Amino acid sequence: MNRNYFTLLMVMVMAFGTQEICVAKKKTSPITIGCIVGAGGDVDATFRNLQEMGFTSCQIGFPSNYTQETIDKLNAAREKYGIKITTVITIPGRCVWNFTEGPSTIGLVPFEGREQKLVEYRKCIDFCQKAKIPAMHSHFGFIPEDPATEQYKTFIVAMKELATYAKNRGVDIYFETGQETPTALLRTIKDIGTGNCFINCDTANLLLYGKANPTDAIRQFGHLVRDMHAKDGTYPSADDPYHLGQEKPIPEGDVDFPAIIKLLKQQGYTGAITIEYEMSDRTTDYMVKTRKYLQKLIDKN
């Protein structure tokens, strides 16, 4: 080493310390980006496709094929392609996605069909335990704003039983947002009180159901968010208050993704951002383009 250069280097070390003169390596965010996939068909091909599109996590969505064969296929595929499975989605029973029949059909809030749905939820929890998937999540219904109603009280009893069943098996339960206000959801989780109930925040659903601005919702319940559906959309139409708002491609709707991801990062979020796109024009190009868009927001200081 040149003598003059060595002398200069030593002066810099003494003046600034070694860390200031070294090029710092860029920190890798713990936040993963994924999408929703099924567990039927060619599981290996499904996970290979995820890897090729650049995804590092996924949610599994399927109704009832909770078999050891499915577990073996999932374990082999996620190990082979390095894909993290964050949750299993299940929504048992008849569901009508509107404001007129939705409250009486979706989740455990309706009295009718509640016991049979609990049976199906327990099957999914057992599957999560065996497959070592950390959480099950679902739409549990239009949670009543009035905690004094019999419907709310019995719903809490049912959810407490289900959450206890899951806790005893090392499984968390995530409420997917949308059909209730953020305040009602926070109250529900507190009233269940088992410590293993958290939130899968669907950013668009909060708008589609007309319940909240998702940015404000994150400010309110962000500490409980463990997974997030990256989905865009608008509020219900003023001309049609019987149906949900309209889903849009990201970022063409009213969801403020830059603000939401910034808030999550400020709150120390380390979960997944899972792209959900239910429109008929879903393509590989859209999924890859959206992943890159979200990754830029995650990487931004």
- Residue 3: the pLDDT is 54
The answer as to whether 6 is a domain residue is: no
Secondary structure of the chain: what % helix, strand, coil (to 5)?
45, 15, 40
What is the spatial distance between Cα 263 and Cα 253, in angstroms, rounded to a whole number? 19
Terminal Cα distance for the chain, rounded:
37
The answer as to whether 7 is a domain residue is: no
Task: Work out whether the CA dihedral 253, 183, 188, 227 comes out positive or negative.
Answer: positive
How far is residue 157 from each of residues 35, 120, 151, measured CA to CA in Å?
A: 32, 17, 10
What is the spatial distance between Cα 249 and Cα 247, in angstroms, rounded to a whole number? 7
Return the bridge partners of 202, or none.
229
The one-letter amino acid at 242 = Y
Instruction: Please give the residue that has the higher pLDDT: either 275 or 17.
Output: 275
Predicted confidence (pLDDT) at residue 21 exceeds the cutoff of 70: no
The answer as to whether 165 is a domain residue is: yes
Segment 53-93, tens digit of pLDDT: 999 999 999 756 899 999 999 999 999 999 999 999 999 99
The answer as to whether 10 is a domain residue is: no
The answer as to whether 9 is a domain residue is: no
The answer as to whether 221 is a domain residue is: yes
Q: How confident is the model at residue 14 (pLDDT cuts 50, 70, 90)?
A: low
DSSP 183-238: HHHHHHHHHH-SS-EEEEEEHHHHHHTTS--HHHHHHHHGGGEEEEEE-EE-PPPT
- The structure tokens listed for 22 are 């070294």
Query: Which CATH number fits the domain that encloses residue 163?
Result: 3.20.20.150
User: Rounded to the nearest 10 degrees, how much is the dihedral formed by the CA atoms of 40, 45, 47, 52?
Assistant: -150
The answer as to whether 15 is a domain residue is: no
Structural domain boundaries, residue 270? 27-299
**Cα Dmax for the chain:** 85
Segment 165-221, tens digit of pLDDT: 999 999 999 999 999 999 999 999 999 999 999 999 999 999 999 999 999 999 999
The total of structural domains in the chain comes to: 1
- The structure tokens listed for 24 are 């710092």
- Residue 56: the pLDDT is 97
Quick one: average pLDDT of 142-160? Answer: 97
Predicted confidence (pLDDT) at residue 7 exceeds the cutoff of 70: no
Q: How confident is the model at residue 26 (pLDDT cuts 50, 70, 90)?
A: low
R_g over Cα of the chain: 22
Q: How confident is the model at residue 24 (pLDDT cuts 50, 70, 90)?
A: very low
Segment 237-273, tens digit of pLDDT: 999 999 999 999 999 999 999 999 999 999 999 999 9
The answer as to whether 67 is a domain residue is: yes
- Residue 164: the pLDDT is 98
Predicted confidence (pLDDT) at residue 27 exceeds the cutoff of 80: no
